[in-house]
Amino acid sequence: MRILLAEDDSLLGDGLRAGLRQLGFQVDWVRDGEAAERELRTQSYTAAVLDLGLPCKDGLDVLTAIRASHIATPVLVLTARDTVPERIRGLDLGADDYVVKPVDLHELAARLRALVRRAHGQPQECLTAQDVVLDPASRTVRQAGVSVTLSNREFDLLQAFMLGAGRVLSREQLEQQLYSWGQEVDSNAIEVHIHNLRRKLGNTLIHTVRGVGYTLLREAPPS
């Protein structure tokens, strides 16, 4: 999952970026509100972690602006403002969750996974399609009860497909979910990862929509 982190505290931001990356997230980090709003308007993120006390533009103003523009990216507010009225205001303005500093890294990751599941209409902790079960917390995949070993990129790609099951996703959309800033992307990287997923999980799961992209079939096609 590709996450936008908006945090102006260098020490905290660096720690959160490193920690979330270790837990399997792709993280882009900005340090002011104007940059946060620009990224949310122009890039595709699975979720955003938004500090309220940002320079240039306050986090609540960023939240107000993106929701007014119908940008539905799930937002987890991270702030030192711990009064009840502040929390209520943030939630009313469109935040999906609210965490007060200092925050435990594993709790933050769990909350991000939960709000992403809710945003995609997935109430269960594990994602399922056909006979494949993906556990985002443990980053494990099982097919028909048997463990399947995937690379980190293959896991992230399968997770993107399962969150968007039934939708056609273009190569560009998939690249935006798999790669953060500064990471080189080979022109055929997505095709290679899809080939590997089909080799490991079979050919019925991911369907090519010629000229458009790819889609994951939640139910196996009739034989």
pLDDT of amino acid 20: 95
pLDDT of amino acid 84: 77
Count of C-beta atoms within a 10 Å radius of residue 133: 18
Closest C-alpha among 61, 56, 62 to residue 48: 62
Q: How many domains, the chain?
A: 2
The answer, yes or no, to whether residue 38 has pLDDT greater than 90, is yes
Pair 114, 143 in one domain: no
CA 25, CA 71: separation in Å to the nearest integer?
A: 21
pLDDT of amino acid 87: 77
Given 68, 102, 119, the domain boundary residue is 119
Pair 131, 44 in one domain: no
Q: How confident is the model at residue 181 (pLDDT cuts 50, 70, 90)?
A: low
Angle at 170 between CA 165 and CA 174, to 5 degrees: 75
Pair 42, 107 in one domain: yes
Domain for residue 165, yes or no?
yes
Q: What is the CATH number of the domain that holds 171?
A: 1.10.10.10
CA 53, CA 59: separation in Å to the nearest integer?
A: 6
The answer, yes or no, to whether residue 183 has pLDDT greater than 80, is no
Pair 103, 209 in one domain: no
Q: What is the CATH number of the domain that holds 96?
A: 3.40.50.2300
Pair 98, 196 in one domain: no
Cis peptide before 102 (omega within 30 of 0): yes
Pair 65, 109 in one domain: yes
Domain limits for position 18: 2-119
Pair 105, 66 in one domain: yes
**Range with the poorest average pLDDT among 1-10, 26-35, 89-98, 144-153:** 89-98
Closest C-alpha among 133, 117, 104, 100 to residue 47: 117
| pLDDT tens per residue, range 93-139 | 889 998 888 889 999 999 999 999 888 887 788 999 999 999 998 99
Q: Which residues contact 154 (CB under 8 A, 6 or more apart)?
A: 193, 196, 197, 200
Q: How confident is the model at residue 223 (pLDDT cuts 50, 70, 90)?
A: low
Pair 138, 201 in one domain: yes
Given 72, 99, 119, the domain boundary residue is 119
- Amino acid identity, position 138: S
The answer, yes or no, to whether residue 79 has pLDDT greater than 90, is no
CB 22 within 8 A of CB 43: no
Pair 51, 96 in one domain: yes
